[in-house]
Amino acid sequence: MRELGYEVTLMKDGIGDIYELAAFVVRDGKIVMQSLAKSLPKEGGRTDKATHRRMPMLAIMSSINARSVLALTAGILLLTAAGNAQTSHDTKPDAIRTFRVHIPEKEIADLRRRIAATRWPDKETVTDRSQGVQLEKLQALVRYWGTDYDWRKAEAKLNSLPQFVTTIDGLDIYFIHVRSRPNTLALIMTHGWPGSIFELIKTIGPLTDPTAYGGRAEDAFDLVIPSIPGFGFSGKPTGTGWDVDHIARAWAELMKRLGYTRYVAQGGDWGSPISSAMARQAPKGLLGIHVNLPATVPPEVAAVLAGGGPAPAGLSEKERVAFDAVDTFYKKYRAYSVMMATRPQTIGYALMDSPAGLAAWMYDYNNVEPERLLTKDEMLDDITLYWLTNSATSAARLYWENGARGPIVAAAQKTAEISLPVAITVFPGEIYPAPETWARRAYRNLIYFHEVDKGGHFAAWEQPELFAAELRAAFKSLR
């Protein structure tokens, strides 16, 4: 079923107002928009600092000039004629199309129905988490999901931001793009698994408007937050080859299309190897990267960890802490990674047929880290995005694409080939606390290394202001 809608957007730049008419067609729960008419700003007006606010049509008709009224009216006529169109987006291969999220109510109702019909297993036979997610904990979360959780709040959160789609190498890439002040350094940030764009959006305010959070105006960034192929509203690859190197090239192309000639990149979890691949490839305009899950584990240590042996002799105190953390993670908490790296299709059948199964799979990450560090609504925004976009299987294939190339192993991520500046922040609740000795060995051009006192694997989600402050400090020398 397709629906046609209209929207008028007021963009204020401090000099003149611009009114833009847009159309959107609902397809598969998504709204793709195409601007068809735009009024002109006052003499000398600019749009590079525009902020967006949706307004009812009648509320603005009396305030715009005659030429704008004619343009908007003409746009409405065109929209009406196109009411049965399949899409309303620019067909040029490199076009950037505006985007809005709208999930049909019937899909949300189906989700709730499936949750209510959950067939639960028997209770674990231990009193701790050693067998996985505990039944009572998961039942409470899923019960809340099926009754009190409101996806429309998450949807509104996304739709309050400028969202876009562009096609790169035959695949639609969804991204959020928030501009700050003129001539601002651009930053492309990449999420991971089991995260999504939701894990990064709380940093948008501190990064694009630092003065509102105690920072300086000159510390602002233009922000680009793409969704990894196979995740969320990005397209799902229909063939192989979308590994971190391919994604890195796609991100460079995205920044080129957006007109950025100077930018930096940041990533945690899968965003780290993607950002590292960008640094290896060194596309024109990329100045440096920041990662919060760095690939610092040396080859000889990685070999011992892979074999499950004891810690090698000669490790410093911090290196021994890091070794023990990785050893514990490998032996107890990374079953999800092994499954998705070897049989993503097999696990996908279960994940996309059972909401409770999907919730348990994501909730169990790193010994139930989401429960410890995120609110119920934050967890469910993320899980629901995977469910409603049917992307658990396509997201899992990223592990298969990258095989045995461990994201924290220096040799696997070819860190010796990176000559661009690298910055690292170590958050104490991360999978392992990367020691500075390993970091300086792995990255020959390490320009920033800082250990902070709070935050974990989902650092941007958990501590957005601290995270933003770290990026400002990390990239200060590259502005």
Helix 392-402 to helix 344-351 angle (10° resolution) is: 160
State residue 84's pLDDT score. 29
**Where are the domains positioned within the chain?**
4-89, 98-479
pLDDT tens digits along 340-358: 999 999 999 999 999 999 9
Active site residue 269: yes
Print burial letters for 236-272: b (CB count within 10 Å at least 16), e (below 16): bbeeeebbbbbbbbbbbbbbeebebeebbbbbbbbbb
Q: Which amino acid is at 419?
A: S
Q: Above 60 in pLDDT, residue 17?
A: no
State residue 367's pLDDT score: 63
* Per-residue model confidence as pLDDT tens digits over 226-275: 999 999 999 999 999 999 999 999 999 999 999 999 999 999 999 999 99
Which tens digit of pLDDT belongs to each residue from 84-122? Answer: 223 345 668 789 999 999 999 999 999 999 999 999 999
> How far is residue 389 from each of residues 30, 88, 111, 278, measured CA to CA in Å?
9, 20, 12, 27
pTM attached to this predicted model: 0.82
Sign of CA dihedral 151, 193, 174, 262: positive
Going from the C-alpha of 131 to that of each of 66, 128, 333, 371, the distances in angstroms are 69, 8, 10, 16
pLDDT at 327 over 80: yes
Candidates 269, 364, 381, 382; catalytic one: 269
pLDDT in tens, 390-412: 999 999 999 999 987 889 999 99
Instruction: For 378-388, write each residue's pLDDT tens digit.
Output: 999 999 999 99
Burial class for 151, CB neighbours closer than 10 Å (0-12, 13-18, 19+): buried
Each residue's pLDDT tens digit, 136-155: 999 999 999 999 999 999 99
| Average pLDDT over the chain, rounded to an integer | 85
Token pair, residue 210, equals 């630092």
Give me the catalytic one of 19, 399, 432, 443: 399
Q: What is the pLDDT of residue 368?
A: 63
Asked if 448 is an active-site residue, the reply is no
CA dist., res. 298 & res. 194, Å (int): 26
- Checking if the pLDDT of 221 tops 90, the result is yes
- pLDDT band at residue 374 under the 50/70/90 scheme: confident
Q: At residue 49, does pLDDT exceed 60?
A: no
Consecutive H or E run containing 5: strand 4-12
14 pLDDT higher than 60: no
Cα–Cα dist 19/60, whole Å? 9
Burial profile 301-322: b = 16 or more Cβ within 10 angstroms, e = fewer: bbebbeeeeeeeeebeebbeeb
Map residue 396 onto helix, strand or coil: helix
As its CATH architecture, domain 98-479 has: 3-Layer(aba) Sandwich (3.40)
Q: Within 10 Å of residue 131's Cβ, how many Cβ atoms?
A: 11
Averaging pLDDT over each range in 2-11, 61-70, 369-378, which range is the top one?
A: 369-378
